[in-house]
Amino acid sequence: PVFSFPQFRSDYLPYEIVPRPIQPQAEYRPKSGKIDLGTIYQRDYNPHKVGPVTLARPRERKHTSDAKVDTVPTYRDHYRLWKSQRTESCKVERDYEPPSERFGNPSTFQDDYIPKQPNPPASCKPCESKLPEGPFDGNTIHRTAYVVHELGPLFVRPREEYKPSDEPFEDLTTHQRDFKGIPGEQAKSCKPEGRKHGSDDPFKGTTEFQDRFQPYVVTAPEFHKPREYVPPTDKMDLKSSNRLDYIKHKVVPRAPVKPAPGRKSTGPFQGKTTTKEDYQPWKVCPQGPIKKEEEIQKPTGKFASLTTFRSHYIPHQANPPQSFKPVQVVPPGVPFKDETLYRTEYTPKKPEVCPGLNPDAAGYVYVSTDSQGHRFYRRESPERSSSDCSPVPEEVPAVS
């Protein structure tokens, strides 16, 4: 069977989109009649008088009496001490007698244990050697076989003077010589070509959208036109309840609290007071500074710059300290011999290869590794020492 897929762009027919109708809001109209504010509580509640609450707690009664209180309790009155006797022990005292026969039940350790002969490890302690008799001979091979050689003058290489070259400087590099600016071809794109898959023929079949789609009759929404504003023709009543019910009262203004104007005197002003008549100014002399007289009188003559140190100082001739600097020695004309025994007698040795790189080829066997990560190896066939002691294999550390 051949299936044909619908082409959305070629088969889809755009339709005009109609906005959703807006539901008009109903106009508010107040209900006529009176609201019944009665409730079931108001209908079924029977009011009654409420009196004060009586306390359920009885009144406090105070029993007062002049008699003396007997503080002896019944326990002391009825309790009597009895003479108790010590009960005898029912335990039968028997002396311990150890058994005379031997215990015949062996343990599992005695049955299963097999004594083995211990093999003590070989002692690593060196054999006891007797100290040589007589005084210590401190002669060494170096002292006896050393031959003193006379050192010749030290060879000093003369310093060569710099001589600039007369030839021109060749500043041509291999890049400048071999590189030629040849334009290369543009790299080809590895992107595949955009080819159209399919044919350009129009679609002749029907689609599921065309078969199942049913057009609906859509009506235009009703447009709500607002009512035109009509101003009122009657005059606005600006009278309020305050203006209608307010009664004006006649109020007399309050008189100012001001002294009444009296008659003015035409005579001269008498400015005499008791203070002026009784008060007499006193002559006050200024008090001088309370300062004690100086016990030491100030000098009147010229200042002498001679101090007690200058007058009593006796100059002494200073002895310079003795110099410990060595006397200048005239250098010898012979050049300094800086050769040492280490330079002349040193023989270079062949560097040993670490056995950790290839221990099997060098004849070493791995022994252990310490806490710092160093590995130790041992030779398979150690050389026997000249003494009669047991040979101890030498452990060689390797690179961790």
Check: CB of residue 21 under 8 Å from CB of residue 220.
Answer: no
Q: Which residues pair with 379 in a beta bridge?
A: 364
pLDDT at residue 362, rounded to an integer: 72
Angstrom CA distances, 144 to 81, 138, 195, 239, 347, stand at 116, 11, 102, 149, 19
Cα–Cα distance measured from residue 30 to residue 58, given in angstroms and rounded to the nearest whole number: 63
Helix then strand count (H, E) for the chain reads: 12, 3
Q: 359: buried, middle or exposed (CB in 10 Å: 19+, 13-18, 0-12)?
A: middle
Lookup result for tokens 């190896």? 377
Q: What is the pLDDT of residues 326-345, one digit of tens each?
A: 776 666 677 777 788 888 88
pLDDT at residue 103, rounded to an integer: 77
Check: CB of residue 6 under 8 Å from CB of residue 203.
Answer: yes
Q: What is the pLDDT of residues 243-282, one digit of tens each?
A: 888 888 888 888 877 777 766 777 777 778 888 878 777 7
Helix (H, G, I), strand (E, B) or coil at 18: coil
* Half-sphere CA count of 224, side-chain side, radius 13 A: 8
Lookup result for tokens 């002669």? 139
pLDDT at residue 89, rounded to an integer: 82
Nearest to 385 by CA among 59, 126, 31, 103: 126
Residues whose CB is less than 8 angstroms from the CB of residue 47 and which lie 6 or more positions away in sequence, other chains included = none
Cα–Cα distance measured from residue 164 to residue 229, given in angstroms and rounded to the nearest whole number: 112
Cα–Cα distance measured from residue 108 to residue 369, given in angstroms and rounded to the nearest whole number: 41
Q: 397: buried, middle or exposed (CB in 10 Å: 19+, 13-18, 0-12)?
A: middle
Structure-block tokens of residue 200:
């350009």
Check: CB of residue 400 under 8 Å from CB of residue 373.
Answer: yes
Check: CB of residue 7 under 8 Å from CB of residue 203.
Answer: yes
Structure-block tokens of residue 101:
């026969």
H or E, element range at 376: strand 375-379
Cα–Cα distance measured from residue 304 to residue 296, given in angstroms and rounded to the nearest whole number: 18
Structure-block tokens of residue 274:
């008791």
pLDDT at residue 276, rounded to an integer: 81
Check: CB of residue 339 under 8 Å from CB of residue 151.
Answer: yes
Quote the longest CA-to-CA distance of the chain.
Answer: 161
Q: Tell me the average pLDDT of the chain.
A: 78
Q: Which residues of the chain have pLDDT under 70?
A: 1-8, 63, 262-263, 328-332, 355-356, 361, 381-400
DSSP secondary structure, 172-190, as one string: --HHHHH---PPPPPPPP-
Q: How far apart are the first and last CA of the chain?
A: 76
Cα–Cα distance measured from residue 398 to residue 374, given in angstroms and rounded to the nearest whole number: 6
pLDDT at residue 286, rounded to an integer: 81
Cα–Cα distance measured from residue 343 to residue 154, given in angstroms and rounded to the nearest whole number: 13
